[in-house]
Amino acid sequence: MSKKAIGFMDSGVGGLTVAKLAMEELQNENIAYLGDEARLPYGEKSKEEIQQYSLQIANFLIEKEDIKMLVIACNTATSYALDYLRNHLLIPVIGVVNPGSIAAVDNTKTNRVGLIATNGTVKSGAYEQEINKINNNIEVFSQGCPRFVTMVENQEYKDAKKQEVVDDDLSTINMDNVDTLILGCTHFPIMREMIQKSVGDSVKLIDPGYETVKQIKTILQQHHIENDEEEDTTYSFYTTGDADNFNQVANEWLNYEVHAKHLPIKELEEL
């Protein structure tokens, strides 16, 4: 039993899609979240940069919030830094790629799975590897959609005029005849409706967050660190970017009054 918070990290607001599911499913758990907007997009950064940033964030959450486990709620950081963080940290660390792969493999009937993600995640091949570890007969069709990340961060995800951008970026995947499409960037569930509209109702969208929360639960149980006490939970949020912008997206997505603290990037760089 542990009252310590679970740490969540992402390059921005995307990881809130995972945090939200955790808040719904694990109602006694405290949460500490950091969005690294000042250095977004991670999808265009090198492996070394992503590893360095991720370790700084993990160290911050450990020192400042005393987190009991870390969820890398970012596909790009999971693809490049999961093993690295596991090697450097003493607390349990999980990412979103293995959970997303499990959910996709479970769903596909045609063995044709699509992946939309950042260019970095696509380039890493992490999803193909993970999916083919489970089932070698599945073909993965990948498409980088970096413009979607900007749309979400800039709060343009409800702007009907942006449907054209979505259709345009999904035109290739729409020809690949997949029956399952992984939302392989944690920002994408926020614009799920636009994506579903573009690919049509016959394609099942996979949000890796659901399976990730199941894995969080398992880890808490295995390590005997669940919070069994039903008292008021505490959620703390940090952003290296603009707190007002973060709060607007977060309030709307979580339906919860978020007051993120701005964290100057210098403080992370010193860790």
Q: Are the C-beta atoms of residues 71 and 98 closer than 8 Å to each other?
A: no
Residue type, 119: N
- 61, 113, 152, 185: the active-site residue: 185
**CB closer to ligand DGL out of 14 and 114:** 14
User: Based on CB atoms, which residue is closest to ligand DGL, 227 or 253?
Assistant: 253
Measured CA distances, 75 to 64, 118, 125, 128 (Å): 24, 8, 11, 13
211 makes contact with ligand DGL (CB under 6 A): no
Nearest to 218 by CA among 130, 86, 99: 99
Residues 6+ apart with CB under 8 A from 69: 6, 7, 91, 92, 93, 94, 216, 219, 220, 223, 225
Is residue 71 near ligand DGL by the rule CB under 6 A? no
Residues that contact ligand DGL, how many (by CB under 6 A): 17
By the rule CB under 6 A, 42 interacts with ligand DGL: yes
22 binds ligand DGL (CB under 6 A): no
Any binding-site annotation on 186? yes
**Could you tell me which residues come within 8 angstroms of residue 210 by beta carbon, excluding any fewer than 6 positions away?**
21, 99, 103
| Residue among 43, 95, 99, 209 that touches ligand DGL (CB under 6 A) | 43
Binding pattern for the stretch 170-209 against ligand DGL, x by CB under 6 A and - elsewhere: ---------------xxx----------------------
The residue length of the chain stands at 271
Interaction between residue 101 and ligand DGL (CB under 6 A): no
- Contacting positions for ligand DGL (CB under 6 A): 10-12, 14, 40-43, 74-76, 118, 121, 149, 185-187
| Catalytically annotated residues | 74, 185
